[in-house]
Structures are given as structure tokens and as C-alpha cells.
């Protein structure tokens, strides 16, 4: 049997394309023929049965990932559960396909992934023994599961030669994205974990309730390990603290509607009534510090960049992730949609932060979360002191 197997493999190698051979030029019709031939060969010879539907789904997924590695995805209705779609069970981590790997953008603060010790920039090697390579969709699907079940995730951490393994219990993850605390007298710590459809309403309610309890004179906007989310929500968060009609971000793309200037005004972040209208106007003018780290990405970088570049806030922490692409989701049939990159955004001045990130005004090398808060509070207290002597 060993000889037959070796002969079979050798035969397969013998009929393969020589290493020096070059593929001839082909047109679209030829490529369609190659696709159908490949599908039929897989149906006939793959080591396990596969349906035509499964092959077509794989073809669409592969096409999107090949053309748009960071943003391409094929969404089927049963795959759509996530932080912006309602409660589900998982470990709470945002991932991206970049440079041929699946990279942790940020574990959601307070979620099982963060408690287990996953960090931004960790490279996902395998999940439950399945090699992940650059397929973030596969990674997300395998990380979700029944509440209380365990998942084994193996990662490669930059700067370390040995891989790390984490056994993490899946837990329900909810839509709560805003937390406001008053651990320091006179200062509100506003932590936003991601930008979901309801984030603006949650922020308005939390700030209004906190202000009604006791007014404060400064704020720390904590965007650490916030991997982004909805672009319009990010525009709204920045707008809350910027002068009316100031430029928040610019976008560029092939379609006419993808080329736009986003201003600090409700039409740019709300389809109906302004969700931020109930926020006390005094809050909009308070001294502000923005906390960032390597897990601050996409929409969170929109906010940090706009507030920093316009001089509205001082940015504190570590250099951000560097993601300027904007993805759109288009329905293509019942329960089916495709997502891909349709635009890129820049700062108000037109600067791109893609793969570069935002450099903070004050660096906090210590990863301990409380250290970042302490440094931010110290900066605000110095600002208060300067204001009292003027």
C-alpha cells in the first residue's frame, strides 16, 4: 500500500505544471472555464464529499479575500451575530487579516479574551487545532459557540519565539459599549469599547446621568482597545467635542458618494433626530484627554486624530493600530451579503494614518490600564491649575 500511495503521489507530481513553465495569457471566458473545471474536479476527487453550493460559497469567500484581504467577507445570515447585532457567546476579540496573518486588533475590555491575557498585535496561529492562516472570517466563526464551552487559541506574540496557548471559556457578549465612571473627583472617565449603532445614545444617556448626579470639570475619553465599528458613530463621538461644522474626517474612494468631507453636525452622523441633543452643552467644552494604545483602530482613530489635529484634546498613551479603510456591506440575495473596502479616510488636514497610526502627544509605555488613567488625570489637573492662575 505504501508503494501504491507513493506511486500515486509521484504520478500527481509528474503531471503537474513544470516549475519553469509560465501560464499562457487567458481571457475572462477561460477563467470561468477554469473555475467550473476546478469545481468539478473537487466534487469528483476531494477526499470527502462536497456540494456545489459549498464550493460556490468558498469561491465567493476566496475571491473577496484575495482581492481585499483586510475587508473582504461573505456574510450568510447565520454568520452575522456579533457585538453590533445583539448578544452572542464568544471570547470578545476583534481581528483583522493583514500581511497574510490574522492579527488581534484588540480584546474587548472586560471580555474573556482580555481576562485570559490576549493582547493587541497577537497573531492567531490556530483555533482548536485548526490552522487559521489569513482567514479572519474562519477565526471569528470558530471563536463563537455555546455559552460555557471552551476554545483553545494558539497565538504567536511579537518578540517571542515560542507560541502561547490560551483555553478560554465562551461567555455572552452584549451591546453595552459605554461606561462612565467618577473614580477621580471632578473628572469623568468615559470608556468606549467600540462604535455600535447604539453607542451615541448610550453615551448621551450616561453623560447626562453622571452630570445630573454631580457636575465635573474635565474628561478622559478612553479609547484603548477600541477597534472601531460604525463610521457614523465615530463621527458623532468626535462631533460631540468639536466646534459645530468643523471638519472631522475626509473620505476617498472610486464612487462619487465615497468622496466626502464629514463635519461636526448631526446630518453626518444621524439619520433622524440628533442622538446627542440631550448632552448638557457645558460638557462639550470641558478640558479633554484622549487615551489610546496599539488596540485603538479605525473609527477610534478617526476620533483621536480629529481631536488631536484640531487641538481640541491631548492624546495620551501609545501609537495606535493604523487602519484607515472603510468597509461597506451590500445585500446580494436572501440572507446573503458581501462586504469589502469602498473608501479610505484621512484626518481633517488630509493625512493618512494607515499602517502608521497616531503618535500620542504624551507616551505611556506601561501597559497597565490604571497608569494611563493616572497620567491623563495628572495632565488635566495641571490644566486646571494653569486655568486658575490666569
pLDDT tens for each residue of 5-30? 433 333 444 444 444 445 567 788 88
3-class DSSP state for residue 260?
A: strand
Percent of the residues in the chain that have a pLDDT greater than 90, as a whole number: 76
Closest to 198 (Cα-Cα) out of 241, 236, 225: 236
In sequence order, the 6+-apart residues with CB closer than 8 A to the CB of 233 are 195, 196, 197, 199, 200, 269, 299
3-state secondary structure of 258: helix
Residue 83 CB-half CA count within 13 A: 24
Poorest-pLDDT segment among 132-136, 153-157, 330-334, 364-368: 132-136
Q: Per-residue pLDDT averaged across 115-135, rounded?
A: 92
Listed range (45-49, 182-186, 278-282, 321-325) with the worst mean pLDDT: 182-186
User: Rounded to an integer, what distance in angstroms lies between the CA atom of residue 283 and that of residue 191?
Assistant: 16
How far apart CA 95 and CA 70 sit, in angstroms, is: 10
Residue 372 · residue 183 · CB < 8 Å: no
pLDDT value for 174? 74
3-state secondary structure of 70: coil
Mean pLDDT, residues 264-285 taken together: 96
Query: Which domains, and CATH codes, for the chain?
Result: 84-173 (2.30.42.10), 178-389 (3.90.226.10)
Sign of CA dihedral 363, 369, 371, 376: positive
Which three cell numbers, joined as nine digits, stand for 159? 518578540
pTM for the model = 0.83
**Is the separation of the CB atoms in 194 and 177 below 8 Å?**
yes
Tell me how far apart the alpha carbons of residues 75 and 378 are, in angstroms, rounded to a whole number. 46
Tell me what pLDDT residue 89 has.
85
Percent of the chain with pLDDT strictly greater than 70: 90
- Average pLDDT, rounded, for the chain: 89
Amino acid at each position: 500500500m505504501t508503494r501504491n500511495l507513493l506511486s500515486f503521489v509521484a504520478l500527481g507530481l509528474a503531471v503537474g505544471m513544470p516549475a519553469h513553465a509560465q501560464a499562457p495569457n487567458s481571457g475572462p471566458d477561460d477563467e470561468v472555464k477554469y473555475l467550473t473545471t476546478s469545481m468539478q474536479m473537487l466534487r469528483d476527487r476531494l477526499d470527502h464529499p462536497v456540494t456545489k453550493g459549498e464550493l460556490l460559497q468558498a469561491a465567493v469567500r476566496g475571491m473577496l479575500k484575495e482581492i481585499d484581504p483586510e475587508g473582504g467577507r461573505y456574510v450568510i445570515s447565520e454568520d452575522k451575530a456579533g457585538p453590533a447585532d445583539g448578544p452572542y457567546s464568544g471570547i470578545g476579540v476583534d481581528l483583522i487579516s493583514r500581511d497574510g496573518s490574522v492579527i488581534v486588533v484588540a480584546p474587548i475590555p472586560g471580555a474573556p479574551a482580555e481576562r485570559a491575557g490576549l493582547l493587541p498585535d497577537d497573531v492567531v496561529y490556530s483555533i482548536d487545532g485548526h490552522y487559521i492562516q489569513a482567514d479572519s472570517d474562519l477565526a471569528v466563526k470558530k471563536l463563537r459557540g455555546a455559552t460555557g464551552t471552551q476554545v483553545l487559541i494558539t497565538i504567536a506574540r511579537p518578540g517571542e519565539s515560542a507560541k502561547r496557548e490560551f483555553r478560554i471559556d465562551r461567555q455572552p457578549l452584549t451591546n453595552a459599549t459605554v461606561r462612565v465612571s467618577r473614580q477621580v473627583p471632578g473628572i469623568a472617565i468615559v470608556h468606549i469599547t467600540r462604535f455600535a449603532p447604539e453607542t451615541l445614545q448610550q453615551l448621551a444617556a450616561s453623560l447626562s446621568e453622571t452630570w445630573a448626579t454631580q457636575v465635573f470639570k474635565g474628561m478622559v475619553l478612553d479609547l484603548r482597545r477600541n477597534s472601531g465599528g460604525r463610521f457614523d458613530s465615530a463621527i458623532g463621538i468626535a462631533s460631540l467635542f468639536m466646534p459645530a461644522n468643523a471638519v472631522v474626517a475626509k473620505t476617498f474612494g472610486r464612487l462619487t458618494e465615497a468622496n466626502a468631507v464629514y463635519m461636526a453636525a448631526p446630518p453626518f452622523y444621524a439619520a433622524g433626530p440628533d442622538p446627542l441633543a440631550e448632552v448638557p452643552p457645558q460638557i462639550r467644552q470641558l478640558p479633554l484627554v484622549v487615551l489610546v494604545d496599539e488596540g485603538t483602530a479605525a473609527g477610534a482613530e478617526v476620533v483621536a486624530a480629529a481631536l488631536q489635529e484640531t487641538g481640541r484634546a491631548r492624546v495620551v498613551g501609545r501609537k495606535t493600530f493604523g487602519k484607515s479603510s472603510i468597509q461597506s456591506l451590500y445585500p446580494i440575495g436572501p440572507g446573503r451579503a458581501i462586504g469589502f473596502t469602498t473608501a479610505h479616510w484621512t484626518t481633517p488636514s488630509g493625512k493618512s494614518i494607515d499602517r502608521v497610526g497616531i503618535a500620542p502627544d504624551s507616551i505611556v509605555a506601561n501597559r497597565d490600564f490604571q497608569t494611563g488613567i493616572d497620567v491623563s488625570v495628572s495632565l488635566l489637573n495641571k490644566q486646571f491649575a494653569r486655568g486658575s492662575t490666569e
